[in-house]
Amino acid sequence: DPKAKTALSDEEVIRKEVQSKLYYVKYFLSRETSDVSRETNTRHSPLTTHDSRLTTDDFITIATVRPETILGDTAIAVNPNDDRYKHLHGQFAFVPLINRRIPIITDEYVEMDFGTGALKITPAHDKNDYQIGEKHGLEIIDTMNDDGTMSEAAQLYIGEDRFEVRKKIVMELESKGHLVKIEDYTNQIGFSERTDVVVEDRLSLQWWVDMKKIYKPALEAVIDEEIKFYPAKFKNLYRNWMENIRDWCISRQLWWGHRIPAWYDDEGNVYVAKTEEEAHRQWSMVNGQSKDSPTHHSPLTTHLRQDDDVLDTWFSSWLWPFEVFKGYSNPGNPEIQYYYPTNTLITAPEIIFFWVARMIMAGFEYMKEKPFSDVYFTGIVRDELGRKMSKQLGNSPDLLGLIDKYGADAVRFGIMISSPAGNDLLFDVKEESTLKQGSFFINKMWNALKLVKMWESKQAASDKPQAASFAVDWFENRLNEAKVEIEELYKDFKLSEILKTIYSLIWDDFCSWYLEWAKPGFEESIDANVYSRTVQFFEELMQLLHPFMPFVTEDIYHQLKERKEGDDLTVRRLKKYSIQNSEILKQGELLKEVITAIRDARNKVQLKPKDQVKLHIRADNSSAYKNIENILQKQVNAESVSYVNEAVSNSINVVVQKDKFFIESKSHADTSSHKEELQKDLSYLEGFLASVEKKLANERFVQNAKPEVVDIERKKKADAEAKIKAIKESLESLN
RNA sequence: GGAACGUUAGCUCAGUUGGUUUAGAGCGCUGCUUUGACAGAGCAGAGGUCACUGGUUCGAGCCCAGUACGUUCCACCA
């Protein structure tokens, strides 16, 4: 529904700070309130000083950076509260050089403390002046031509370039006593985005879209999450813009683009139509011509002239989701039916208004349906000072250089790991710490591959149940657990979180735990089944990581095993995860916890890693350790593991959950630091217990909180009490 | 001037409808460990009154109000 409208538009204008001059210019006052001065308002009849009605004191001084626009002035404005000018309210002044008589008006818009506090009003060449002009009913005098030269209406310097005129008019103003002073001044000036030329505000006739008529479905779709934004914070920005939507100027004076489908007749009437024929039919109806045969067009068509303007790029672009499949021009075709609406739009937050919002509006307006379901906004890459990367600042990293230095996958890793959905990405070019992390990660995977390949030739059929079988069962379940997490994260487009999860799964769970647990003893062979399962786990890990680090993962995949032609990670289907055995996962966690606690205790009493110990376990349920005792023994360098019912004297005590571990060592163990550690644990636990007890003592908590929450607190209390008891016992045994 | 978003460990950030510990991760930092995949490593550790003030609640990093600071967008700067 285009309509013609007169206004000023400032799209595609880049504002830049420039050094300018601020010219202070005297406008002589008219003391007459009658229209005696009318006679002076003619061309080239400068009101010179011999005019008896004026003295040199009778002037008002304004400040301007564009003295050439003086010729288009139609008023002077002052702030109504400005005492300096109160006596001039309702008076008149003369435009210098051409002596047009203009009113002195009052408007709150005028800043009293800028310049002289008096502002010249040029409605044809300044947006604000235009608005003031509209408000006060001022005359509009367009003093400039399309090519930036002065027009007839300027009266002076007709046909000369605006910048030349600026120089000349300053000289003339000075010679005629109008120039008070010139100051240096820094201001912002609009430059054309395309040609980098200073933009002058001018009045022109343009095509506009009345956005208020079409925005509603697009607003509601995003608010109701029929279309989801990731991250959701952009919803508010979108809402704010849509609720205050302004008309859209869609015509552009360019050579390239979709031409405006509007035709003019000789009288200047407009006919908007899909085709020239249709425009002509409209013209015929308006002009009372008979609609003879529709296939036979008369030469009258030549009377119509199509608008030279083209549509704004974004007006063409908002058609993109459907018109790339001819969804509007050929409705219901098989492609549009398949591809519309589509799933996900990936784009930058800075074009939410330009493009995203408009595609949504066009979708509802022309297709009666949303164009896509999800919009994922990528972050903007900034340098360590938070500045956008740009050629001008020269703060962009040399990506090809970084790839040479760290590898393509490491660079991908570094960028992906530090770009949480929709947040800006601070990229520290000097540190490059995440890139280093990426290349270390690659190194880690290569070393894991090296280890596994070493086992390849040392496989043997197993005759006895191995410690490694628990490791295999555990990792299988751990892998499935991680796959579920990853799938959830994908649904929310949390790409950096996914990568972190995979990173930790590979580094910690696979390399640090699983491979150590599955590792055969020195010079021992590996169970053939354990080996093939290990290879399979490795494959699956590489597959999970493949979208983030495609090169190294594909390479490792092929090195793990002989592959048939076409068996590549990039086209391999993801294996569906199966249900996890939570009991095994729990045992794995217990194992990790016990290993860590015992290593910690060994470390604290300064036992060397080489020093072998005897491990005694006192557990309520010692069968829980049967599955894992082999691994435990190996991981804490114990020569034996036994189960006891009594405390073991002269040992280092470790408490994990409710179970106690006694570490017996031949080496001299420094028990004083051990006691200190136990004391520290004890005071922490006592503090914790106090906080839980306080909570449980609060009647209102017990009454109001959900029963399961209260149960959790009770369990916390019981666990803490058991642990405190065990630690106290240990402390006593050390005395 | 208007609006949106943010403020959690030295740095970069998680923390999913308020309730499993006295808040997590990565990097950095500190200590210990060097010939069996990996020192580009391993093992462990330290480090935070969750910007501030008030409110709602049995309970707040999370909800509400205000303040401060920051980032971005829009408008304006004669």
Whether the beta carbon of A639 falls within 7 A of nucleic chain B: the reply is no
Q: Which amino acid, residue A276?
A: E
Gap from A505 CA to B62 C1', in Å? 28
| pLDDT value of position A560 | 94
Could you tell me which of A520, A527, A525, A517 has the C-alpha nearest to residue A594? A517
Euclidean distance between CA atoms A198 and A192, whole angstroms:
6
Whether the beta carbon of A127 falls within 7 A of nucleic chain B: the reply is yes
What DSSP line would sit under A44-60, residue for residue? T----TT-TT--TTSEE
Whether the beta carbon of A16 falls within 7 A of nucleic chain B: the reply is no
Query: Are β-strands A310-311 and A342-347 bridged in parallel, bridged antiparallel, or unpaired?
Result: unpaired
Whether the beta carbon of A460 falls within 7 A of nucleic chain B: the reply is no
Let me know if A86 is exposed, middle or buried by CB neighbors in 10 A (0-12, 13-18, 19+).
exposed
Whether the beta carbon of A12 falls within 7 A of nucleic chain B: the reply is no
User: What is the crossing angle of helices A468-491 and A528-545, to 10°?
Assistant: 10
This complex has an ipTM of 0.88
Q: Averaging pLDDT over each range in A25-29, A692-696, A702-706, which range is the top one?
A: A25-29
Could you report the per-residue pLDDT of A31-44, keeping only the tens digit for each? 655 444 433 433 33
Gap from A696 CA to B56 C1', in Å? 22
Q: Report which DSSP code applies to A422.
A: T
Whether the beta carbon of A240 falls within 7 A of nucleic chain B: the reply is yes
Could you report the per-residue pLDDT of A220-276, keeping only the tens digit for each? 888 888 898 887 778 878 887 888 788 888 888 878 888 999 999 888 888 999 888
Euclidean distance between CA atoms A646 and A518, whole angstroms:
32
Could you report the per-residue pLDDT of A137-186, keeping only the tens digit for each? 888 888 888 888 888 888 888 889 888 888 899 999 888 888 888 888 77
Whether the beta carbon of A716 falls within 7 A of nucleic chain B: the reply is yes
Average pLDDT, chain A: 81
Whether the beta carbon of A458 falls within 7 A of nucleic chain B: the reply is no
Could you report the per-residue pLDDT of A475-531, keeping only the tens digit for each? 999 998 888 888 888 888 888 888 888 998 999 899 989 998 888 877 788 888 899
Answer yes or no: are the C-beta atoms of A184 and A21 closer than 8 Å.
yes
Question: Which residues sit opposite A382 in a β-bridge?
Answer: A388, A426
Please report which confidence band the pLDDT of residue A562 belongs to, taking 50, 70 and 90 as the band edges. Answer: very high
Bases of strand B lying below 7 A from some protein CB: 3-6, 12-14, 19-22, 25-28, 31-34, 36-38, 40-45, 57-59, 71-73, 75-78
Whether the beta carbon of A532 falls within 7 A of nucleic chain B: the reply is no
What DSSP line would sit under A306-334, residue for residue? E---EE-HHHHHTTHHHHTTTTTTSTT-H
Residues 6+ apart with CB under 8 A from A242: A215, A218, A219, A222, A357
